[in-house]
Structure 1
């Protein structure tokens, strides 16, 4: 992947939305991009598991977890499932666990923090709806670009070099 969010912001200034700089990088790939699939849930990662079990080639899963810091929505087992199904990465408005193992996976992962507690499993949540994360409205099908400098979103795919 040959892109930098700084260069994309300069080249497409009027087209990109920049997420607030609240995320830490936990995956083995600091740089990733793809078309967005959205989830809205709270302290229940059942829908995360279901979605990562689907074909994720060319996609990034964005999870509006309500900013909860009381449990993790992603761990190493779900990270391995994401890799197996070709997901480019995840951006989670919530926490992850098993961060050392996630850091070894060929996967982009941005989240607020780590937390050792697993989430509940109630099969709640919604998929493929507009969500608001880190100060930006995100729509299913938008394009997300993440690297060491931040996370940006565009309504269309941008030239990446």
Structure 2
């Protein structure tokens, strides 16, 4: 079932009013071949180090969306084609990166949702520093583990509860 962000906004206006449904500021470009995706949120908070990204994506995705707060850094890429392929293989619905990705041509051919600020050819250091399963905030919204993310060509929504049945 296709869940359009525009329809979700229209059909859940009271949730927009009370803050239980939030709209992320327009800031992302779509890089995976799946433009629309949704799932429960898992989070990472890190900076220019994607060691935790690999560790997380090696685990079962169970249809979740990994939200990576990379501090908005435009100095290196937090996700590349190998990590995107790993996410796809392990059942992640998508990845949202407050930072950059690389290998965009290869990722464009993968059936995964991947939103990021931009591309950058440089890889990160791998010290595996950062935090997992913590609330992260960017784009005017706080993303909490276990909440729900809905994304498509029109935007990104975060909800305290699942909006599909």
TM-score by length of 1: 0.97
Q: CA deviation at 1:76?
A: 0.2
Q: Quick one: distance in 2 between partners of 1:106 and 1:133?
A: 26
Q: Which one of the candidate residues 135, 139, 157 is aligned to 2:140?
A: 135
Moved more, 12-21 or 52-61: 12-21
Q: CA deviation at 1:58?
A: 1.6
Q: Quick one: distance in 1 between partners of 2:72 and 2:78?
A: 11
**2:83 paired residue number:** 78
- Deviation digits for residues 75-107 of structure 1 (CA, Å, limit 9, x no counterpart): 000010001100000000000000010011110
Aligned to 2:52, what secondary structure does the other structure show? helix
User: How much is the aligned-residue C-alpha RMSD, in angstroms?
Assistant: 0.9
Aligned length: 160
Q: CA deviation at 1:57?
A: 1.7
Q: Quick one: distance in 2 between partners of 1:35 and 1:13?
A: 21
Aligned to 2:27, what secondary structure does the other structure show? coil
1:107 and 2:129 aligned: no
Identify if the C-alpha distance between structure 1 residues 135 and 53 changes in structure 2 by more than 3 Å, giving closer, same or farther: same
**1:40 paired residue number:** 45
TM-score by length of 2: 0.95
Q: Quick one: distance in 2 between partners of 1:14 and 1:52?
A: 35
Moved over 3 A (4+): none
Q: Which runs of 5+ in 1 are unaligned?
A: none
**1:6 paired residue number:** 6
Aligned to 2:91, what secondary structure does the other structure show? coil
**2:18 paired residue number:** none
Q: Quick one: distance in 2 between partners of 1:138 and 1:46?
A: 21
Q: Quick one: distance in 2 between partners of 1:63 and 1:150?
A: 17
